[in-house]
Chain A
């Protein structure tokens, strides 16, 4: 009964948020003269076409990792908006290292992956250092670091340095990673599903276990909940903040790794930007919960995959962005409302637990 109640309140918020979003977007669609029902049907049917599913899943993996990276930061009250720079710099160096070496696959692939994580972590730890030692907001320093990362990549991508001019286009890219550094794909639904998704699942599981079961995770959460209480309890809280920022950057460094290892095998400026904002949005939407983020990430890429179909049918595809934005606001609001309701329930219980005292006190009066 207690568990059922808990489950109900856990699901109430996202369900309410989705209903609200559908109603809100319907109203907008009606204003535009479009039929909401047929629009939603269009999104649903286009998004669930088999040839789109694989593309959605591959995109989900990248979004998921960005979401987990953001969620780790959230647990420390860190707003890692530097995921963008961390991920691009990480993939760039991973591609460079991969392109310059040719080890057996069981060494080559881990080398590339670990390079990405280390670069992401190092780049993030600049912001972590500035935060801990100089008290500079990680938001400011990370935004700047994103810009610096962009410039650095363009600088290093010049053919005279680490890059090559593409064969078919003018696009600059890193040298091709040899076949030993490729990760296999699964052939399903006529598409190529990246096997890197398994790594993402492992990251999710590890994230949950370490955070909730280990001493390290306890220290991390404690510092996030109360820096001062954690410090008083013996945790080296500033160091914890620094490490968390680095881990978040390390996970960010895995974002886009599936694309690199199973598809492009080279880094070029075609790698998308904007993963930071998406990652933060997904972490919010999924309440920093590994399964919640996974659902949110799939939902996100599902909508994005379906967006082009709207344009073809006379509905502006920006309606998808509107849905995404609305659902974030609605979810955050709904969770806050649920939090208040459950807190009130708890207070009622606490109030009731003090009741025996009243009776005892009243007995005391009578004698």
Chain B
């Protein structure tokens, strides 16, 4: 077998941080090679080096067995390396063909775009690799899975022989993941090489021919899926034993922390974004909310918190009718909120951690007496969170933006659980955090449940929903379409329900 990529002794230093060191990876042509690791393990830096966005300080790169220096993404493309970013870079109001051609237009007489030739090239790619896309569809009309295929086609159009996929499954539902995997197999069968970056171990085990594990900037293991297991992979990733969530042993209580009755909400244009939603959460219960993103989860959270009042129906959060209570009253009555977009909604990025501890509790004891902030209490309790939740920071006076994503999230979780809230809204609580932080967060969610907190767990991570939830509600197009019992249902059934297919 010939080698597609050989990386030797790659090193990259940033001030104060070693992003990569002694990275060795060899990838055979036609393989799917997975690179896994926690957040901050150095995967992104390595990919940026490979794609010419970052210059390595040391080490050699060989592509198809000849040593190269990659100075820019243009160089990388020239060498046949293509990158499919996690966040799609497509123009909504253009067609698939236009998007794919953009930036590498075949020209007629050097002035006019030769669309006929572009179309022919694209049709060839679609046929060869079995990609189910239509050149004339408007991108705005396409679903997530389809957009991803457009991104892949875009890279192939530029002549890529090596594809880097950065967490490609993060935005997909299970059925779409299967579809993607089928496509990837066809690609490698045609001689392409794929680098698959992920931290979902199931997927890596299912699709990869070989796996490199990264930890703290370096490659710690190179494995073959048939000779390893998920537990071993996870242990390589975190460098130790993986804690698993404690099984829940208590039953939910009768008391209800949330009652939503026939609640509907129209957006500004009059479109119904939530349609007669009925939802109840008991004290001491974790209710999982499954659904493809954009099916009303954000609106539901805003409605429960009282940020948006229902146009019809009623919402009673921790005993308060949201139409008659301010957000402040509702939060002070015992509602914790772990927002999905933690940097925008959960933190004052420029403020020190101790000030961030106050956020959300600024008008209640012990953080204040309602009029004056108690700085001492804030410093003390932020220190407690740092210790209990293992937030890695030199002190509580470091600003939030200096911390890594996982540590920011641990801090937020710690803050929102302070004062034992009656209800906790946790939106994607472990998205993008590493396995170690995930385990800590899960552990604390379960502990909150044991202490009688009612938890609404909004998650796109099915594994998380199955592990933690007492019940799983499925939201589709602004309404709850199904309730599932995580003990008796399967991920496939849940996936189907998420796409609106009612299962018998």
Q: Taking beta carbons and an 8 Å cutoff, which residues of A are in contact with B? A: 213-215, 217-219, 221-222, 225-226, 228-236, 343-344, 346-354, 357-358, 360-362, 364-365
Q: Are A347 and B359 in contact (CB under 8 A)?
A: no
Chain B 333-350 interface mask (CB, 8 Å, partner A; 1/0): 000010101001111111
Q: Are A236 and B327 in contact (CB under 8 A)?
A: yes
Q: Are B344 and A228 in contact (CB under 8 A)?
A: yes
Chain B 347-372 interface mask (CB, 8 Å, partner A; 1/0): 11111000100111011000010111
With contacts A347-B15, A350-B392 taken as known, whether A229 is within 8 angstroms of B346 at the C-beta atoms is: yes
State A358–B392 Cα separation when bound (angstroms).
12
Is B102 among interface residues, defined by CB-CB distance under 8 A?
no
Q: Are B394 and A352 in contact (CB under 8 A)?
A: yes
26 contacts between A and B (CB under 8 A): A213-B375, A214-B372, A215-B368, A215-B372, A215-B373, A217-B373, A222-B359, A225-B350, A226-B345, A229-B346, A229-B359, A232-B345, A233-B360, A234-B330, A234-B332, A234-B360, A346-B398, A346-B402, A348-B16, A348-B17, A349-B395, A352-B394, A353-B393, A357-B239, A364-B239, A365-B220
State A232–B349 Cα separation when bound (angstroms).
14
Q: Are A343 and B362 in contact (CB under 8 A)?
A: no
Residues of B within 8 A of A228 (CB): 341, 344-345
Interface size on B, residues (CB 8 A): 51
State A226–B346 Cα separation when bound (angstroms).
9
Is B215 among interface residues, defined by CB-CB distance under 8 A?
yes
Q: Are A229 and B371 in contact (CB under 8 A)?
A: no
Chain B 115-134 interface mask (CB, 8 Å, partner A; 1/0): 00000000000000000000
Q: Are A350 and B360 in contact (CB under 8 A)?
A: no
Q: A221-B351, A233-B362, A235-B328 are in contact. List 9 more A-B contacts (CB 8 A).
A: A213-B372, A217-B373, A229-B347, A229-B359, A232-B360, A354-B392, A361-B215, A361-B216, A362-B239
Please pick, from A214, A221, A353, A362, the residue contacting B371 in the complex, using a CB distance under 8 A.
Answer: A214
The 5 A-B residue pairs with the shortest CB-CB distance in the complex, in nearest-first order? A361-B239, A348-B16, A234-B331, A233-B360, A234-B328
Q: Are A229 and B16 in contact (CB under 8 A)?
A: no
Query: How many Å from the CB of B329 to the closest CB on chain A?
Result: 8
Q: Are B348 and A229 in contact (CB under 8 A)?
A: yes
Residues of A within 8 A of B17 (CB): 347-348, 351
Query: How many Å from the CB of B112 to the closest CB on chain A?
Result: 42
With contacts A218-B358, A353-B393 taken as known, whether A225 is within 8 angstroms of B349 at the C-beta atoms is: yes
Query: How many Å from the CB of B300 to the closest CB on chain A?
Result: 15
Query: How many Å from the CB of B473 to the closest CB on chain A?
Result: 22
B401's nearest neighbour on chain A, judged by CB, is A343
Q: Are A350 and B393 in contact (CB under 8 A)?
A: yes
Please pick, from B305, B348, B395, B402, the residue contacting A222 in the complex, using a CB distance under 8 A.
Answer: B348
Please pick, from B216, B345, B363, B398, the residue contacting A215 in the complex, using a CB distance under 8 A.
Answer: B363
Q: Are A349 and B394 in contact (CB under 8 A)?
A: yes
Residues of B within 8 A of A346 (CB): 398-399, 402
Is B403 among interface residues, defined by CB-CB distance under 8 A?
yes
Is B307 among interface residues, defined by CB-CB distance under 8 A?
yes
State A232–B15 Cα separation when bound (angstroms).
34
With contacts A214-B372, A344-B15, A362-B239 taken as known, whether A234 is within 8 angstroms of B327 at the C-beta atoms is: yes
State A362–B218 Cα separation when bound (angstroms).
12
Residues of B within 8 A of A219 (CB): 362
B17, B341, B358 interface centre (most CB from chain A within 10 Å): B17
State A217–B362 Cα separation when bound (angstroms).
10
A225, A343, A344 interface centre (most CB from chain B within 10 Å): A225
Residues of A within 8 A of B327 (CB): 231, 234, 236
Residues of B within 8 A of A229 (CB): 344-348, 359
Is B326 among interface residues, defined by CB-CB distance under 8 A?
yes
Query: How many Å from the CB of A228 to the closest CB on chain B?
Result: 5
B370's nearest neighbour on chain A, judged by CB, is A215
Is B143 among interface residues, defined by CB-CB distance under 8 A?
no
Please pick, from A215, A231, A361, A362, the residue contacting B307 in the complex, using a CB distance under 8 A.
Answer: A231
A232's nearest neighbour on chain B, judged by CB, is B345
